[in-house]
Amino acid sequence: MIKRLILGLAALALTSCGMLPGTLATQPTPIPTLTPAASIAQDAAVKPAPALGGKPSGDLLVWIFSNHTPPVRGVNTFEALVTDSQGQPISDATVSFDIDMTNMSHGKNVMAASSLGNGHYDANVHFLMPGPWRVIVGVRRAGQTSTVRFDFMVSW
Ligand SMILES: [Cu+2]
């Protein structure tokens, strides 16, 4: 019964996008590999896994990692690393992951990330379909919110 319901929801999700899996002809693009700053590379807590890339936002630097490379349809664990411009971890922020497809909208889907300490924050994110997605990482700190966007392909 539960399985039936889940399958029904999946079919509904696909239908609501107006796309069937077979019509997704987009070739997955490689996800940029993180080239960490020397100070960050020395941080043993940083996972050696390939990342979705690192980007500046104001005086912050934000990296995003996934436990799947590339991310896959279904549940993935995303981890953000937030540092200052010198690579020092920022551990007192409130971090969120706002995900959606870039070629269609699946509505608002924002996950609050948990702090792992040493500038790391993680949350499980759920991708309904393969194809082009983006995550907007929100970093709230001292009353100010910075956002950093990463675009990537989700595979089957
Ligand atoms: Cu979709």
pLDDT, residue 52, reads: 57
Who surrounds ion ligand 1 at CB < 5 A?
17, 101, 104, 129
- Between the CA of 50 and the centroid of ligand 1 the distance, in Å, is 25
Is cis: bond before 70, omega within 30 of 0? Answer: yes
Quick: pLDDT tens for 44-74: 344 434 455 578 888 888 988 888 888 999 9
Helix segments in 42-140, DSSP class H: none
Say how many Å lie between the CA of residue 64 and the centre of ligand 1: 22
CA of residue 109 to ligand 1 center, whole Å: 13
Cα of 95 vs centre of ligand 1, distance in Å, is: 25
Model confidence band, residue 95 (pLDDT cutoffs 50, 70, 90): very high
Q: CB count, 10 Å around CB of 45?
A: 12
In our burial notation (b when 16+ CB lie closer than 10 A, e otherwise), range 1-37 reads eeeeeeeeeeeeeeeebeeeeeebeeeeeebeebebb
Percentage of the chain beyond pLDDT 90 is 49
Q: Give residue limits of the domains in the chain.
A: 29-154
Fold (topology level) of 29-154: Immunoglobulin-like (2.60.40)
What pLDDT was estimated at residue 100?
97
Cα-to-centroid distance, 101 and ligand 1 (Å):
6
Where does the pLDDT of residue 130 fall: very low under 50, low under 70, confident under 90, or very high at 90 and above? very high
